[in-house]
Amino acid sequence: MLQSDQAITGCPIGMMDAMAGCLERNDAQLAARFVPRLSDDTGNHMTAAMFLTEKAGGSDVGANECVASRADDGTWRLHGEKWFCSCAHSDLILVLARPEGAPPGPRGLSLFLMPRVLDDGTRNAYIIHRLKDKFGTRAMASAEVGLRGAFAWPVGALDRGLPQMMDMVNITRVGIATATAGAMRRNAFEALTHTSRRSAFGQRLDLHPLMRDQLVELVVDSVAGLTAAMGVAELLDRADGAVSGDSAGALRLLTPLFKMHGTERARVSATEAMEVRGGNGFIEDWPEPRLLRDVYVHAIWEGAGNVIALDVLRAIEHGALAGYLADSERHIEGIGGGPAAPLAPALLDALRRVERDTAAMAGAGAEQRQLPLRRLARRMAGVAIAGRLAEQGNEFAAATGSGRLAWLAARYAARLGGEPLVARLADDAAWLPHADAMLHGGHVPVDLAGSAAETVASELRSPAAVAG
């Protein structure tokens, strides 16, 4: 679904899912009333949005200025200006506001559910100043909204506004991992289709070695994105039941890690896919310009890169690292026998390096703790995804006799060693005769995948290995 469109499926539909999750976790009464309406699939469903951001506070929501006041009849009314309101037409909107007299900063914020239409059928008291003129996701309107004494129900505990709101944000962050996976798959699909039909210099584009190399990177990103999205979605599913210990820690860390990984790689993927179509890729008659514009927003909403990296640090400081390590170790140990097997000890080494580096950060000052964060987060995401990919690569080889996924896993894991290690694999022409199968699916010899995994593993394990 997300391959066809990012704006509608990535935002409005994601909001409905996330609001349902947030109400179910925090307010049984509101959930009983509205979740059935949000999940109604007869065509009469309610739509959902969330208004957090104000001019004063985007990342720093604690600086927000919107106020909630209690009317004489005991109901709550919201006042102030919201600066970024996607799906402003929605029937139900989660709003962060500060009750009069509550302390400043994030702890003083409460969460409210604001209906578009009141029980008596009249419009609630908020206005839309204007719709934003956006770089992308133009199919979905984002507005600036003025709250003019709007009626709203308090959600859950008044003094837990931000943690409750984060329940919604964490679900939409998982949604972004999924949206970017969809985008990367679409980019790969467009590039593969185009290059299998167009010729240059006497042969099909996808037969030229340099194009094959460019295409395989798109396929690696698409496969890795899907693995990340399904991995974190599986943990989220488990968290909907009884989540405990390590699973909770793994979900807490993999959510921001895979959100950041997806947004960074999807931008690269969209840029490459545009180039692959040549001049037409720059022209609005083809899908690439919209794919590129729409995917850029994922890097900003629900936390821009630095904010996500700081969230990773916060999660580590609150003890989530053990869960991440246990989860990654479980997948690495699950690699077992098969062509991807040599990757297991190398990935375990990489995991131990993550453990050492995070332990070293503990005693450092704030600046020294923050500076390595984005690179560390990339490496943590990379190890977690490579472990899952290698595990799936061996399962796939056992089931089909093809080393395709194990080879792609090795090529992905090579990125942990930087450009020189990718080059060790990519510059050896041995893979080119099997490129069709690697790109489009089909039989790849397991020996080829095994020797790729061996090459990557021995370099990653060497003392000089540059991780991340």
User: Considering only 51-59, 244-252, 342-350, 421-429, which stretch makes contact with ligand FAD by CB under 6 A?
Assistant: 51-59
Q: Residue 11: CB partners within 8 Å, gap ≥ 6?
A: 86, 87, 137, 140
* Under rule CB under 6 A, residue 263 binds ligand FAD: no
**Cβ distance to ligand FAD smaller for residue 137 or 263:** 137
Question: Nearest approach, Cβ of 76 to ligand FAD (angstroms)?
Answer: 19
* Under rule CB under 6 A, residue 35 binds ligand FAD: no
**Cβ distance to ligand FAD smaller for residue 60 or 428:** 60
**Cβ distance to ligand FAD smaller for residue 78 or 446:** 78
Determine whether 159 is exposed, middle or buried from the number of CB atoms within 10 Å of its CB (0-12, 13-18, 19+). middle
Q: Is the distance from CB of 406 to CB of 453 less than 8 angstroms?
A: yes
* Under rule CB under 6 A, residue 85 binds ligand FAD: yes
How far are the Cα atoms of 7, 195, 402 from residue 189, in angstroms, in the given order? Answer: 19, 10, 21
List the one residue from 29, 75, 306, 462 that touches ligand FAD (CB under 6 A). Answer: 306
How far are the Cα atoms of 25, 198, 247, 302 from residue 164, in angstroms, in the given order? Answer: 8, 52, 20, 15
**CA 11 to CA 141: how far, in whole Å?**
10
List the one residue from 105, 289, 305, 345 that touches ligand FAD (CB under 6 A). Answer: 305
Q: Is the distance from CB of 97 to CB of 116 less than 8 angstroms?
A: no
User: Considering only 50-58, 210-218, 327-335, 340-348, which stretch makes contact with ligand FAD by CB under 6 A?
Assistant: 50-58
**CA 451 to CA 460: how far, in whole Å?**
14
List the one residue from 230, 300, 322, 432 that touches ligand FAD (CB under 6 A). Answer: 300
* Under rule CB under 6 A, residue 142 binds ligand FAD: yes
Number of residues that bind ligand FAD (CB under 6 A): 22
- Amino acid making up residue 111: L
List the one residue from 53, 222, 247, 328 that touches ligand FAD (CB under 6 A). Answer: 53
Q: Is the distance from CB of 123 to CB of 145 less than 8 angstroms?
A: no
* Under rule CB under 6 A, residue 304 binds ligand FAD: yes
Give the 3-state secondary structure percentages of the chain, helix then strand then coil, rounded to 5: 60, 10, 25
* Under rule CB under 6 A, residue 63 binds ligand FAD: no
- Amino acid making up residue 444: V
User: Considering only 45-53, 98-106, 443-451, 456-464, which stretch makes contact with ligand FAD by CB under 6 A?
Assistant: 45-53
**CA 136 to CA 222: how far, in whole Å?**
21
User: Considering only 81-89, 256-264, 271-279, 320-328, which stretch makes contact with ligand FAD by CB under 6 A?
Assistant: 81-89
Question: Nearest approach, Cβ of 192 to ligand FAD (angstroms)?
Answer: 29
**Cβ distance to ligand FAD smaller for residue 52 or 176:** 52
User: Considering only 49-57, 160-168, 343-351, 417-425, which stretch makes contact with ligand FAD by CB under 6 A?
Assistant: 49-57
Q: Which residues within the stretch 108-137 sit at the binding site for ligand FAD (CB under 6 A)? A: 134, 137
The H or E element containing residue 385 is: helix 373-400
**Cβ distance to ligand FAD smaller for residue 137 or 255:** 137
Cα-to-chain-centroid distance, residue 267: 12
Tell me the Ramachandran region of residue 308: left when phi exceeds 0, alpha when psi lies from -120 to 50, beta otherwise. Answer: alpha
**CA 154 to CA 95: how far, in whole Å?**
10
Tell me the Ramachandran region of residue 114: left when phi exceeds 0, alpha when psi lies from -120 to 50, beta otherwise. Answer: beta
The H or E element containing residue 262 is: helix 245-276
* Under rule CB under 6 A, residue 89 binds ligand FAD: no
Q: Which residues within the stretch 407-436 sit at the binding site for ligand FAD (CB under 6 A)? A: none
Contact set with ligand FAD (CB under 6 A): 49-53, 58-60, 84-86, 134, 137, 142, 297, 300-301, 304-307, 310
